[in-house]
Structure formats: structure tokens, C-alpha cells
Structure 1
Amino acid sequence: MKVQVNTSNDIDNKEALERWAEDYLNDHLARFDQDLTSIEVQMTDENHAAKGGGVDKRCMMEARVNGRAPVAVTNYAANQDLAFRGAAEKLAHALDHAFGKLDRREHRERETIRRDTEVIDQVVPPQA
């Protein structure tokens, strides 16, 4: 799957972050590889200041799902690493939830003998 990383001017080591993010997400979200076309990551420093402190790093991830609406999550943390890893965890949980709902819906729509009246009548004869 393709991973695109966008950063604000206040984020350091953009090239290294891009390489690491692609490896990390491809490994962390490997179970969704067939269902995702790409993931877009946006890292920003909310207060745009060189000074530290506070929970000012934001990581937003949007996963593009084959034939479905995109799934997006946002995580705030004190540094880039925590913001990124937290967003990756949230994205994995959101995808599990989205695909779980999809599986449940498809399960209800598939054929079953429980609704076939001929089979039911053979197992439990109609009472006269």
C-alpha cells in the first residue's frame, strides 16, 4: 500500500519520517493490505513554535479503502513519535471496527437453511 506523509514546516527530519512511516504502517496494518489503496499522514505542530511543552503535535491519518469511504483518525501527543504511534493504533482499531461491521452485514445477507421453509418443514413437521 502507498503511504504519503505531509508535514508542516515545524516538523523535523521529513525524509527519515517518510521512510520510517511507510515501513511502520505497512508492517502494523499488514492485515488490511488487500483492502487499502493508500494511507495519507499529516503531521503538524499545533502551536508552530520551536519551544516544547504541552500536547501540541497532531497526527492525522486517512486510509483509503477499496470501494468504500475513507477512514480517518487524529491523535495529539507531546512529541511526533507518540502522536504517530497513537494515530496508527487508532487507525488499526477503526479499520477493525469498519471491516467487522462489514463482515456482520455480509453474514446476515448470505444464504442460510434457517430461512428455507422446505428444510424447516422436513425437520419440524407442521402441526395439524
Structure 2
Amino acid sequence: MQIQINTDHHIEGHEALAAWATGEVKSGLSRFSASVTRVEVHLSDENGHKSGPDDKRCVMEARVQGRQPLAVTHNAPSLYLTVTGATEKLSRLIDSTLGRAARPAALPEPLNQN
């Protein structure tokens, strides 16, 4: 699984942040490593130099083999919380998407003839 970290011009994209975020995503999505080929992480500060509640944003997009890309967004007061929150959301989305594909189509309910 390839992981790419992108930041906007308000965030310092230093190596420690990128290394931590990469590890967090790899760990959180490890059970899908056979299906997910690439994850793009986009980190941004919506208020720029001002602070505010939930002003950090993380958008994650996963490329799953044979499927359209899946994307989630998570806002939080810190970059670390945005990455962990988005990773959890993406894990649930991939799980439900792949789980749905593995389940057979539901049979229609029989009509009640009372």
C-alpha cells in the first residue's frame, strides 16, 4: 500500500508529521493491505494563521482494487486528531464497501397473503 501525504501552505509538512501520519494510516488500514493500493492524505488548516475549533482538516482517499476511489473527511482541533479520525472513518467505509460486495444479494421478502 502506497501512502502519500500532502499539506497546504499553512501546515509545515515536516518529516516527523509525514512519518507519523504514514504509520498511523498503515496501522489503521493494515487489514485491507491486499485490497488497497494507494491512500492519499490531504492535511489543511481551514483558518490559516488564526486558531479555532476543529479548524484542521484531513481528507483521505483510498484506491481499492477494482473499485471507484473511496474518500472521507474529518475535522478536529489538531492534525493528529484529524488523521486518526479520518483513518477510523476510512477503515469503516472500506470494511462496509468490501463487506457488501462479499455478501450475496438479499432475496426479496415474501408477500404476506393474509
After TM superposition, the score normalised by the length of structure 2 is: 0.86
Q: 5+ unaligned residues in a row in structure 2: which ranges? A: 106-114
Tell me if structure 1 keeps the 8 A contact 2:72–2:90.
Answer: yes
Structure 2: which amino acid aligns with 1:46? Answer: E
Aligned residues: 105
Give me the whole-angstrom Cα distance separating, in 2, the residues matched to 1:82 and 1:36.
Answer: 23
1:13 Cα offset (Å): 4.6
Larger radius of gyration: 1
Aligned counterpart, 1:98: 97
Q: 5+ unaligned residues in a row in structure 1: which ranges? A: 109-128
Aligned counterpart, 2:73: 74
Aligned counterpart, 1:122: none
Give me the whole-angstrom Cα distance separating, in 2, the residues matched to 1:90 and 1:13.
Answer: 23
- Render the CA deviation track for 1:88-107: whole Å, top value 9, x for unaligned: 11000101110111111xx3
Give me the whole-angstrom Cα distance separating, in 2, the residues matched to 1:82 and 1:35.
Answer: 25
- Greater share of helix: 1
% identical aligned pairs: 44
Give me the whole-angstrom Cα distance separating, in 1, the residues matched to 2:93 and 2:74.
Answer: 13
Pair 1:25 & 2:25 matched: yes
Q: What SS does structure 1 have at the residue aligned with 2:10?
A: coil
Aligned counterpart, 2:15: 15
Tell me if structure 2 keeps the 8 A contact 1:7–1:14.
Answer: no
Q: What SS does structure 2 have at the residue aligned with 1:27?
A: helix
Give me the whole-angstrom Cα distance separating, in 2, the residues matched to 1:47 and 1:53.
Answer: 7
Moved over 2 A (4+): none
- Render the CA deviation track for 1:7-57: whole Å, top value 9, x for unaligned: 0121135321211122121111111000011100000000111x3222110
Give me the whole-angstrom Cα distance separating, in 1, the residues matched to 2:23 and 2:58.
Answer: 17
Aligned counterpart, 1:35: 35
Structure 1: which amino acid aligns with 2:18? Answer: E
Tell me if structure 1 keeps the 8 A contact 2:38–2:63.
Answer: yes
Give me the whole-angstrom Cα distance separating, in 1, the residues matched to 2:10 and 2:78.
Answer: 12
After TM superposition, the score normalised by the length of structure 1 is: 0.77
